[in-house]
Chains A and B, each alone.
Chain A
Amino acid sequence: MSWTPICDFDKLLPERGVCALVDGRQVAVFRTFDGTLHALDNLDPFSGAYVLSRGIVGTRKGEPTVASPLHKQVFSLVSGVCLDEKDVSVPVYPVRVADGYVEVSV
């Protein structure tokens, strides 16, 4: 598995996302309140726009989530499954912190 560094961990605000371009793929990376990282594909499957990194981060019944900024469908940050329409999901990617750097693998 090859890891691509994208930014300093400190660059990520708690409960907000950023977007990174990795091998031509748009990856949305989120830092939750407790410092856990999650990476999803940035493409919102409902609207076809690359915007998921700009959604609101929160929880649903304890599960960390992001809501699409366009039409508010909520996705699990853990599984990528849309919690409002369970047969829709977005890819999730491995993400880690190494030497204070956030790295993703696509």
Chain B
Amino acid sequence: MSRIVVVGYGPTAHRLVETLTSKGFDGRITVIGEEPRPAYDRVALTSYLSGTTAEDLTYDVPAGTVTRLSTRVTGIDREARLVTLSDGGTEAYDVLVLATGSAPFVPPVPGAEHAFVYRTLEDLDAIRVAAKDAVEGVVVGGGLLGLEAADALRALGLKAHIVEMSPWLMPRQVDEGGGAVLKQHIEGLGLGVHAGAGVKEIVADENGQVIGLRKPDETLLDAQVVVFSAGIRPRDELARSSGLEVGERGGIVVDSAMLTSDPAIYAVGECALAGGMIYGLVGPCNTMAEVAADRIMGGSATFDGADMSTKLKLLGVEVAQFGSMTGALDVTYMDPVSGVYKKLFISDDAQTLLGGICVGDASPYTQLRPFVGKALPASPSDLLFSGAGANLDLPDEAQVCSCNNVCAGDIRTAIADKGCTDVPGLKACTRAGTTCGSCVPMLKQLLEKSGVEVSKALCEHFTYSRAELFDIVRVRNITTFSQLISEHGQGRGCDICKPVVASILASLHNGHVLEGERVTLQDTNDHFLANMQKNGTYSVVPRIPGGEITPEKLIVIGEVARDFGLYTKITGGQRIDLFGARVDQLPEIWRRLVEAGFESGHAYGKALRTVKSCVGSTWCRYGVQDSVGLAIALELRYRGLRSPHKLKSAVSGCARECAEARSKDFGIIATEKGWNLYVAGNGGFKPRHADLLAGDLSTEELIRTIDRFLMFYIRTADRLQRTATWLEALDGGLDYLREVIMEDSLGICADLDAQMEYHTATYADEWAATLDDPEKLSRFVSFVNAPGLPDPSIVFEQERGQIKPVMVR
């Protein structure tokens, strides 16, 4: 049995062991790592600061693998083929793999010992502690990782600065023009960019507390936290002391089989010097691990350099680079207004694509990277305008996923021969898209092109999604279901499409939901304007705007409940639910309620439910705004608004948030200066805190923003999609939402405003209208042939002084 010992337990070591295990390696594998845990996902490192746990990031140890954690290898006895360990033990090997990784480079400047680095979970823990009492932070190094570190400091609440030696940021990925656009984006986020600047010293006070960074021109940048992210140095000290060949500037020399100068020792990952290069990206490191695993198993794979293309989104900006960064010819598209910079490098005969750079819009990366070294698929100017490259056919050998080296042909085989029909299936089958995920759009495209229908059809009657149906109804001004299904669907509908169309017609045209043909579309509850309970009886919820109610009205509710023998319960939305009404009792109950000034609470509808509130500045000694007044105004404005799913809201009068506004579809929290608006929160099965959409709004601005948020949601959401899942699925997320409804990037705000205006102008209480219509009222009977007879199957018993249903068969 052969024994493999792996030194170092980072992602590359993990990939090596995983590959060996999955290929059926039957020897013994021992991995020795100096960190206290197995390998973890360093690409997602920054997410650790926003709540992802170490456990989430840590990879599972492949079955059968022996691990020795918190242990260093202190020496290699190449003669005896064993390694000595920091705990005094030894481990014998037949094959040794060095995956010792790299260490962050810390420039030898005075005070450097006070700075942090950004590589391990422990580094992040230390930065988090230091950031607690800090106001400003500096990252030294404006490369990929440096920007990520700056984003992390920002997420920790610091004013972040980036100091970069080169004249512009990310010099390995973008050229000067791209750097300028990138700088504009990053400064726009409030970060300080100091390009072309070095570090003279890290200044600390007598207690060792950092107070700033001194630049060579003697200016001092105030900062209490300094992070170095100025490149990596391969960890080759073990190889060096064991007499293995190392490069002049570091790195363990390997051949294309990943073998070092000792034929029993491989080196992979950031410690390896392959073809004179150190590779610091996950893709090439994974390939090295796979090559070594193949060789150990007797294969003949080789590592012949790697695609260093990068695509990432840092600080909300897309940056991508692929292929070469020089060429005989280049074509540039630049839009400083929207912050987009795209450049293609082309051969001197203008036939071959050599590479490209993108800032602000990385779509050329996805579309064109597979064409590097091949004939240009269209004219450069066509390719640079966004979307122009979207329909290109990829050659089979074009690499789709550079992290896992998967080509378009592999994806096509998985679809055609292995029956993959969706992105998760392709991920499981080919590993494409499982590391950085930037190729997922391309996977979707390949699926679509192969004829696999990614169905968005609502049901068998409509091939459209809800959002598409909404547009059809809106643009063609369709007013009935029959017209819609005869012109755009088939059959006669079902319990899925009918309520959807009912809701769309109600959102667009208002009007009574039980009018004409619309009565036949309504779901259970809308059909009788009440909530059906388990025994076929209904519950009744009158609207109590903002949860404020006079004693007189409270008494009416009590009297109605008593007179009709209803069970009463206070709801979570600050109103009162009356249970156990038979269908024939609903009109009598509502006649009493409407007479007392109540309206429908739409508890039965996919519509606005309640706007909950705390008591606010009127009574509360902490309140800073009138939360009850605002809640009532909002509830009255949006009452009756039909939507893809129910809508809940709340208003809190101060930051103590007693109304729990951040668990709502739209929640408002008072500030000293106005209102903060949070959107897309949810309680329920999968709770989600609402995101801050805009801060310190005036009441007028607030209402306009909510109007547009609701109308945009109603236009574009799927069937039964709450705002939380809608926002999560929205391409571009919160930033995009802001652009659409606050900056009018689609030019639809006037339309959204008009639609809400129409809603508020045409709202009418549907229970009052029903009571005035004998035809509608005549449907509220238990038996069509015995209208006065109560349903004998409805039986109650008593519990805690109130009724409860008994099921009888």
Contact = CB atoms under 8 A, between A and B. Distances in A.
A72 B495 contact: yes
Given A13-B520, A58-B498, A48 B460 contact: no
B75 to A, nearest CB: 68
B534 A20 contact: no
Contacts of B536: 49-51, 54, 70
Contacts of B461: 58-59
A69 B524 contact: yes
A23 B527 CA distance: 27
Contacts of A64: 492
Interface in B491-540: 491-495, 497-499, 517, 519-521, 523-524, 527-528, 532, 534-536
A40 interface: no
A92 interface: no
Given A21-B786, A32-B492, A65-B494, A57 B793 contact: no
B783 interface: yes
Given A7-B784, A19-B782, A69-B524, A13 B492 contact: no
A62 interface: yes
Contacts of A14: 517, 520
Nearest to A62: B491
Contacts of A58: 461, 491-495, 497-498
A13 B520 CA distance: 8
A3 B392 CA distance: 69
A36 to B, nearest CB: 11
A96 interface: no
A90 interface: no
Contacts of B800: none
Interface in B384-435: none
A49 B533 CA distance: 10
Contacts of B520: 13-16, 56-57
A22 B114 CA distance: 89
A59 B491 CA distance: 6
Contact of A56 (B495, B528, B793): B495
Nearest to B522: A56
Contact of A60 (B460, B517, B783): B460
B785 A59 contact: no
A100 to B, nearest CB: 15
B784 A19 contact: yes
Scoring A22, A64, A65, A69 by chain B CB atoms within 10 A of each residue's CB, the highest score goes to A69
B491 A20 contact: no
B809 A48 contact: yes
B791 interface: yes
B219 to A, nearest CB: 69
A20 B460 contact: no
Interface in A11-65: 11, 13-16, 18-22, 26, 29, 32-33, 43, 47-51, 54-62, 64-65
A67 B532 CA distance: 14
Contacts of A65: 494
Contacts of A69: 523-524, 527, 532
Contacts of B534: 47, 49, 70
Nearest to B778: A11
Binding site secondary structure of chain A = strand
A56 B524 CA distance: 8
A106 interface: no
Contacts of B785: 4-7, 20-22
Q: Which residue, of B527, B534, B784, B789, has the highest number of chain A Cβ atoms within 10 A?
A: B784
B519 A13 contact: yes
Contact of B519 (A16, A59, A60, A62): A16
A6 B784 CA distance: 7
A69 B493 CA distance: 15
A49 B524 contact: no
Contacts of A7: 784-785
Contact of B494 (A11, A29, A50, A56): A56
Nearest to B783: A21
B54 interface: no
A92 B793 CA distance: 20
Nearest to B499: A56
B807 interface: yes
A14 B517 CA distance: 8
Given A58-B498, A70-B532, A11 B491 contact: no
Contacts of A55: 495, 524
Nearest to B532: A69
Nearest to A49: B536
B515 to A, nearest CB: 12
B372 to A, nearest CB: 50
Interface in B686-727: none
A21 B272 CA distance: 85
B492 A67 contact: no
B495 A67 contact: yes
A74 interface: yes
B782 to A, nearest CB: 7
Contacts of A70: 524, 532, 534, 536
B427 to A, nearest CB: 31
Interface in B759-809: 782-786, 789, 791, 793, 807, 809
B789 A21 contact: yes
Given A49-B536, A54-B524, A69-B532, A59 B784 contact: no
Nearest to A66: B495
Nearest to A33: B492
Contacts of A29: 784
Contacts of B493: 58-59
A15 B652 CA distance: 45
A47 B793 CA distance: 13
B808 to A, nearest CB: 8
A21 B784 CA distance: 8
A50 B460 contact: no
Interface centre among B460, B491, B497 (most CB of A within 10 A): B491
A21 B492 CA distance: 28
Contacts of B524: 54-56, 69-70
B394 to A, nearest CB: 38
Given A7-B784, A13-B520, A19-B783, A51 B491 contact: no
Nearest to A24: B792
A70 B520 CA distance: 17
A88 to B, nearest CB: 14
A43 B460 CA distance: 27
Contacts of A54: 524, 527-528, 532, 536
Contacts of A67: 494-495
A16 B527 CA distance: 10
A67 B523 CA distance: 10
B447 to A, nearest CB: 27
Nearest to A26: B793
B803 to A, nearest CB: 16
B385 to A, nearest CB: 45
A59 B498 CA distance: 11
A29 B782 CA distance: 13
Given A49-B535, A70-B534, A74-B495, 5 more contacts: A6-B784, A49-B534, A57-B520, A58-B495, A59-B493
8 contacts: A20-B783, A33-B492, A48-B807, A49-B536, A59-B491, A59-B492, A60-B460, A69-B524
Interface of B: 460-461, 491-495, 497-499, 517, 519-521, 523-524, 527-528, 532, 534-536, 782-786, 789, 791, 793, 807, 809
Closest 8 CB pairs between A and B?
A67-B495, A69-B524, A58-B494, A49-B536, A18-B784, A56-B495, A15-B520, A6-B785
